[in-house]
């Protein structure tokens, strides 16, 4: 669990890491790989929005059962990036996460891997 100040610092570091990744990915010249920077930035945007609501985004994961709030437009953007990276796969559902009956943890918005 992070304090609000720790989360601010983490967000700054996350943004720096994303910028560094983007520069390296552009140098590699593989377009689908570059799209991962878009995914990272959208995750950072979701974390910033959660932080603004007082949510500790570092605790939002499958293991904790706490979900990272996503606006449906964010899901569409993430799907666009995933479709570019993994051609033809739309795997993110804009519906809110629901409890999973078999283990008690919330199903993340992108579902379980096949």
Angstrom distance (rounded) from CA 88 to CA 84: 8
| Residue 112 predicted with pLDDT over 60 | no
Q: CA–CA distance from 8 to each of 40, 41, 102 (Å)?
A: 16, 15, 35
Please indicate, yes or no, whether the overall pTM of this predicted structure exceeds 0.85.
Answer: no
Over residues 9-68, the pLDDT tens digits come to 999 999 999 999 999 999 999 999 999 999 999 999 999 999 999 999 999 998 999 999
Q: How many CB atoms lie within 10 A of CB 81?
A: 20
- Among 99, 18, 111, 92, which Cα is nearest to 66's? 99
Is the distance from CB of 57 to CB of 46 less than 8 angstroms?
yes
Over residues 59-97, the pLDDT tens digits come to 999 899 999 999 889 988 998 898 899 886 656 565 654
């Amino acid at each position: 669990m992070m304090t609000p100040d720790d989360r601010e610092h983490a967000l700054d570091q996350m943004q720096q890491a994303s910028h560094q990744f983007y520069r390296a990915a552009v140098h590699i010249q593989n377009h689908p790989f570059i799209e991962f920077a878009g995914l990272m930035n959208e995750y950072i945007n979701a974390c910033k929005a959660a932080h603004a609501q007082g949510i500790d985004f570092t605790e939002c994961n499958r293991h904790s059962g706490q979900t990272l709030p996503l606006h449906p437009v964010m899901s569409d953007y993430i799907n666009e990036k995933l479709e570019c990276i993994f051609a033809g796969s739309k795997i993110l559902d804009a519906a809110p996460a629901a409890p999973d009956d078999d283990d008690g943890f919330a199903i993340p918005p992108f579902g379980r891997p096949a």
